[in-house]
Amino acid sequence: MSISKDDVIMLRPDDIPTKWYNIAADLPEPLPPPLNPVTKQPMRPQELEAIFPKEAIAQEMSVDRYIDIPEEVRDAYLMIGRPSPLVRAKRLEKLLKTPAKIYFKREDLSPAGSHKPNSAIPQAYINMKEGVENLTTETGAGQWGTALALACAHFDLNCKVFMVRSSYDQKPFRRLVMETYGSTVYSSPSNVTEYGRSVNEKTPDHPGTLGIAITEAVEMCLHQESTKYSLGSVLNHVMLHQTVIGQETMMQLEQIDTVPDYMVACVGGGSNFAGFCFPMMGKMIQGKVDTKFIAAEPCSVPSMTKGELRYDYGDTGGMTPLLKMYTMGCEYVPSPIHAGGLRYHGMAPAVSKAAELGYMKAFAYEQNDTFAAAVTFARTEGIVPAPESSHAIKAAMDLALEAKKTGEEKVIVFNLSGHGLLDMAGYDRFLHNNL
């Protein structure tokens, strides 16, 4: 197998994007506004200031196509390994005997092990600049909590993380990484918030959900001085920050004069899908490309494939604004799958709007099938992927096998959103037929 120019496509440090891309500028209709949970009227920016810094709110409401990335944030992006490589999966192609070309964007190489620092860093920076001293947040599999713990250590902020209990139990080393960075981690539902205690009283063995963890983090934020809440997905400003992934990918594809037929990413709350796909989707909306966009979700939380498009709370306790999104309902309790980062009841409003407008398609996958794809990927490309990312790998493999049937040389690019080296309990169960 000879080496060619498209095996590994690199960028230089000064190629790190200087602006974030905002798909709201290119949508044919405005995104539906968040609603006040009490009045059910559109939220005014000042109503969000109890939990978010002013700059994050400005980004949330913005319809500007591009928003400048501060130099301090670009410097921190360099620290976490940006720009990341785009790699061709030649051994996987050979195993599948497909004429398709498969590429993957390596977001697994950051110190936190995932794409999550792309938003954690600017959020921590914005809060630091506005004089905030403490951040609260939630985490599912632990990738977001790890990223925010890293970012808070970098910008000298205190960080408290509510980790969904099923993941807290399954992934102790992720908790230890967060604690190593200096953060405090609680198993959610916890006994340190009123809402957490109420859940534990009703259901002592509750596995936890991201919705519950969000309620706990927001409650703590509202009861502590100099404290704000930080969210790792769902909201527009988080989607915005993640677009460094897609912008880099477009530059790399331009180097080899390629426009992908498909771009694929897993979806839980929507951040890595939006970050990877939205810049190219903007080109598609403008009529410049005809790329198709595929979202891969778990069958246990099929918000895109079986959920309703309606206003719903972003958390279980009803403390957050109401968001218009595809949702399974804020009280939905998914099974404790190992892809903990995908165990969220709703989808980001921006991703939901893209689906409503027909700009993308979603497919749901069973846990055993995604782990089988993950093991195949590990044995061909040498990388143990996160259980979340394995959904994208499964979708990309299915597309490659479809190309094999038709004999078409399709170009498939997927986002490898994180590594699975701290998710080995799931691999252990799969490999020994206990999943």
- Residues 316-336 have pLDDT tens digits of 888 889 999 999 999 998 887
- pLDDT over 90, % of the chain: 91
If pLDDT is split at 50, 70 and 90, which confidence band does 125 have? very high
Q: Which pLDDT does position 399 carry in this prediction?
A: 98
Over the stretch 13-62, which tens digit does the pLDDT of each residue have? 999 999 999 999 999 999 999 999 999 999 999 999 999 999 999 999 99
Residue 117 is predicted with a pLDDT of 98
Q: What is the mean pLDDT of residues 382-400?
A: 97
pLDDT confidence bin for 342, thresholds 50/70/90: confident
Q: How many CB atoms lie within 10 A of CB 297?
A: 28
Non-local CB neighbours of 141 within 8 Å, separated by 6+ positions? 167, 171, 174, 338, 339, 340, 341, 386, 387, 388, 423
Q: What is the pTM of this model?
A: 0.95
What gap in Å lies between CA 247 and CA 271, rounded to an integer? 14
| 1 band by pLDDT with thresholds 50, 70 and 90 | low
Position with higher pLDDT, 385 vs 317: 385
* pLDDT at residue number 318: 86
User: Is the pLDDT reported for residue 259 higher than 70?
Assistant: yes
pLDDT at 343: 80
Q: pLDDT, tens digit, for every residue of 229-256?
A: 999 999 999 999 999 999 999 999 999 9
Helix 172-180 and helix 143-154, axial crossing angle in degrees, nearest 10: 10
Report how far residue 291's alpha carbon sits from residue 283's, in angstroms, rounded to the nearest whole number: 9
Q: Is the pLDDT of residue 2 over 70?
A: no
Residue of higher predicted confidence among 334 and 365: 365
What domains are there in the chain, each with its CATH number? 8-17+81-114+242-431 (3.40.50.1100), 19-67+116-229 (3.40.50.1100)
pLDDT category at 4 given cuts 50, 70, 90 is confident
Instruction: Give residue for tokens 């407008």.
Output: 357
pLDDT of the residue at 334: 83
**Average model confidence (pLDDT) across the chain:** 95
Cβ–Cβ under 8 Å, residues 348 and 269 = yes
Q: Given the structure tokens 């309990």, which residue do they identify?
A: 425
With bands split at pLDDT 50, 70 and 90, how would you rate the model's confidence at 208?
Answer: very high
- Whether the per-residue pLDDT at 340 is higher than 80: the answer is no
Structure tokens at 338: 């190992």
